[in-house]
Amino acid sequence: MDKTAELLGIIEELKAEKKQLQHELWRFKELVKFLPPTWDLDVNTNVFWWSKEFRDMLGYESEADFPNVAESWSNRLHPEDKQPTLNAFAAHIGDKTGRTPYDVKYRLYRKDGSMFWAQATGATLRDGSGNALHVLGTAVDITEDVVKYGFSSDTTLSHGGVTVNFKTLDGTQQEKYQMMYSIIAKQCKELNKSDFEKQKIQMKFFDEFRARHI
């Protein structure tokens, strides 16, 4: 094979690879549209990447008005939620065992000054020693659920005068269900709820319990 033919073969291979990469990039961009608002942190450089959906949720349009730095997000946290949220994030990143989850609820201010509730989760890529390299996460507007179910950032939920703090539930999934059932039954009895009212309250609590994957 002469050099020209060999070179042409290499060029064709590079064109095919370029076409494949373009397709992969297009597919990634399209898939992102179906994801919730997403963010990514390069721990070593402390550079954040905010998805278009994340910026849209807060009322921003581009990196120019919402730069790729932590402060773009953290400065918009409600004062009561800011430090607990940052502490939870630091605890997640700093736990080299990877056992400390990042799953928090907090209030955020949009660009126009309006406030909404968000639930944020994150997962971290670590090196062999457990040091954090990248954190990938999502943040979802849950304001409608807060208004509907009345729960707050401390995971306390109230329905019909009955209150349960999910943080107090321990054990296996079945044991948590039993504990919750006992708490609801006791409070319904104290409030003189009918069996029908108790069943309605139980269903609301169990639906929320399952929705939170507790």
- Distance from C-alpha of 47 to C-alpha of 67, rounded to nearest angstrom: 10
**CATH architecture of the region 36-148:** 2-Layer Sandwich (3.30)
Where b means 16+ CB within 10 Å and e means fewer, 100-117 reads eebebbbbbeeeeeeeeb
- Tell the residue number behind the tokens 């309250």, with chain if given: 201
> pLDDT by residue for the chain (214 residues), tens digit each?
567 777 777 777 777 777 777 756 665 555 555 567 899 999 999 999 999 999 999 999 999 999 999 999 999 999 888 998 999 999 999 999 998 989 888 889 999 999 988 989 999 999 999 999 999 999 999 888 776 655 554 566 666 777 777 766 777 767 777 788 888 888 888 888 888 888 888 887 777 766 654 4
Q: Which residues contact 136 (CB under 8 A, 6 or more apart)?
A: 38, 39, 40, 122, 123, 124, 125
Q: How far apart are CA 163 and CA 180, in angstroms?
A: 10
Q: Where are the domains of the chain?
A: 1-34, 36-148, 156-211
pTM above 0.85, yes or no: no
